Chain A
């Protein structure tokens, strides 16, 4: 009897919670997913950038600005790391970074900046009104901070768009590259 009691107490003491389900995205998931709002902006590749042109790839969509000192370098560094870890599968993934700073971020400025992280990343810019419309569609907050350095506060997460162009998930800031790799692999494996 006392042995049973001891076993129950030990089980209660050490019982660990269930492990995380590896088939579930680590990012926040939308249910049901909707079609990612379409946009056409000026691309850092010198041409027009239309989101739906990337159908068939998993798109990682972030928002920021090239003079950002805090959030953007970390996010883009993480995405570059994830891209490397994905190996050949990275061919089916596209990082798109939309600026919140139309005054300073020209297509060539975006190209130079993004090349520090990966030459495969593309940036997008446009008029203040165009960019504001895109931010509204995606629920992105961005506000210029008063001061001489022209900084912005902005939403720091990255959207995950599947091959069919559906807005599937939102990865909050500070997730590691392995989390992106995990989620991108799941999305790429979908039929």
Chain B
């Protein structure tokens, strides 16, 4: 067996091991919260004419992985944030238990709407593998 063959086998084995880990290990994180914060001074920057968009019009969550939306207002004034008004220093924690698409009227967005898409929990090995591959792809692109 040539060294090239050995290298190929080692690489193949390593890839297989990574794929097995990605498929068999449950997808978990230390926190299931997806945090969005309004930084201090946001209102002042808006008043100065800056275009500040903190909350995307669409947020993707995954049940059992990241299924809690956490909004926090660190600014000095009340802010319309997502579906509601948050006072200075106040946070809003919204858990999701059902995979679906949720639409909220949101005056902070030009479209007047904010959508939260909650995907099902990646339960099977194939779904875990696909979830991790998608997350990796999103991270590098």
Contact = CB atoms under 8 A, between A and B. Distances in A.
Contacts of A156: 105
A154 B83 contact: no
Contacts of B91: 30-31
Nearest to B20: A9
B97 A26 contact: yes
A149 B73 CA distance: 38
A45 to B, nearest CB: 28
Interface residues of B, number: 29
Interface stretch (B22-30, B53-61, B133-141): B22-30
A160 to B, nearest CB: 12
Nearest to B125: A13
B49 interface: no
Contact of A28 (B25, B94, B112): B94
A30 B105 contact: no
Interface in A1-35: 9, 12-13, 15, 17, 20, 24, 26-32, 34
Interface string A68-105: 00000000000000000000000000000000000000
Nearest to A172: B102
Contact of A157 (B24, B95, B104): B104
Interface of A: 9, 12-13, 15, 17, 20, 24, 26-32, 34, 137-143, 153-157, 170, 172-174
